[in-house]
Amino acid sequence: MSQADAASLHVPVLAERCLELLAPALQTPGAVLVDATLGMGGHTEAALRRFPALHVVGIDRDPQAIALASARLAPFADRFTAVHTTYDHIDDVAAEHGDDAGLVQGVLMDLGVSSLQLDETQRGFAYAHDAPLDMRMDQSAGVSAAQLLAEASEAELRRILKVYGEEKFAGRIAAAIVRRRATAPLTRTGELVDIVRENIPAAARRTGGNPAKRTFQALRIAVNGELEVLERAMPRAVEALAVGGRIVVESYHSLEDRAVKAVLARGATSSAPPDLPVEPETHKPYLRLLTRGAEEADAAEQARNPRAKSVRLRAAERLRPTPEHLLTRPTDRPTRRRSTA
């Protein structure tokens, strides 16, 4: 895929709404935005065009995305920095590229699989095309979907499909995978689609689109550790925000949205016991929610961009530093990779 293809094929979800929510923070002198899920750079390009003094740091674990986005954003090279890493390193990225205090004015997260990964059929993310069962967002590291299907126990496969895919027939599909791999390894997406279709009752296949959709979502999340990364990243993203800074997060399924909601709601809620007559300053909320619940795309946006059909958008503003008693300790994570100009 070329730079021109990236710009023409990638339509960022709710770009105008994201920028509207971020604008009060990004208009401050010297503002830095971390686009924690750079992808093909659509949101970043829109932000750089709208805010002429803004610097954007784009994070992505996919080297191909970094290369394509960097080419697309070449006209803004002096105001854009790419970092090849997972976005649970956002605190390290902010410390390196933020203000003197190691903080930034904006954070944007557009979660889930990117258009690049879906459109590159050989990556194995799409159930509509036969391809190698890979599904890794960074093909230079980690365990592929084929390896996971070969090595995980039946109980673990059932858990993955049920929890990450909310698949009602997880047990039947997991058992069929184990039976199949006893005779020959699963290496192609088409083989997995056939197994799923054969183990979902005909009545259940008549609605809801492709019956393999939930299984492919579940495996992708498991292969890339998406929920674990998100659960580590959310509190670190909040801590990377300067006072007055804003965070906007777009989720595409309930598990993501639940994790985002929990962190933002915690920051927007007083930590004082309800029976205290006066709320101590150190227990006041440190975030202000900017959306009423999770916003959805309207019909016009969905018609313009099919990926927007399942989006849930949440946003918040930092009001004050997080009280000491609410700070969480960082958990272990892999070493961060280097920035690229």
Share above pLDDT 70 across residues of the chain, in percent, rounded to a whole number: 91
pLDDT number for residue 209: 74
Mean pLDDT of the chain, nearest integer: 90
> At 76, phi and psi to the nearest 5?
-110, 25
Question: Per residue in 170-194, pLDDT tens?
Answer: 999 999 999 999 999 999 999 999 9
Q: Which of 299, 264, 269, 159 is nearest to 219 (CA)?
A: 159
Q: Spell out where 228-293 has E strands.
A: 241-251, 287-289
pLDDT number for residue 2: 47
| Separation CA 335–CA 27 (nearest Å) | 33
Per-residue pLDDT of the chain in tens (341 residues, 90 and over written 9) = 444 454 555 689 999 999 999 999 999 999 999 999 999 999 999 999 999 999 999 999 999 999 999 999 999 999 999 999 999 999 999 999 999 999 999 999 999 876 666 666 777 778 888 999 999 988 888 899 999 999 999 999 999 999 999 999 999 999 999 999 999 999 999 999 999 999 998 877 777 678 899 999 999 999 999 999 999 999 999 999 999 999 999 999 999 999 999 999 999 998 878 877 777 877 889 999 999 999 999 999 988 888 889 999 999 999 999 998 888 765 555 555 555 54
Q: Spell out the long-range contacts of 95-102 with Cβ–Cβ below 8 A and sequence spacing 24 or more.
A: 95/240, 96/339, 97/32, 97/34, 97/55, 97/57, 97/339, 98/32, 98/240, 98/242, 99/30, 99/32, 99/242, 101/242, 102/240
Q: Which of 138, 160, 189 is nearest to 255 (CA)?
A: 160
Question: Per residue in 69-118, pLDDT tens?
Answer: 999 999 999 999 999 999 999 999 999 999 999 999 999 999 987 666 66
pLDDT number for residue 111: 94
- Two structure tokens written together for 50: 């709208």
Determine the 3-state secondary structure of 136 from DSSP: coil
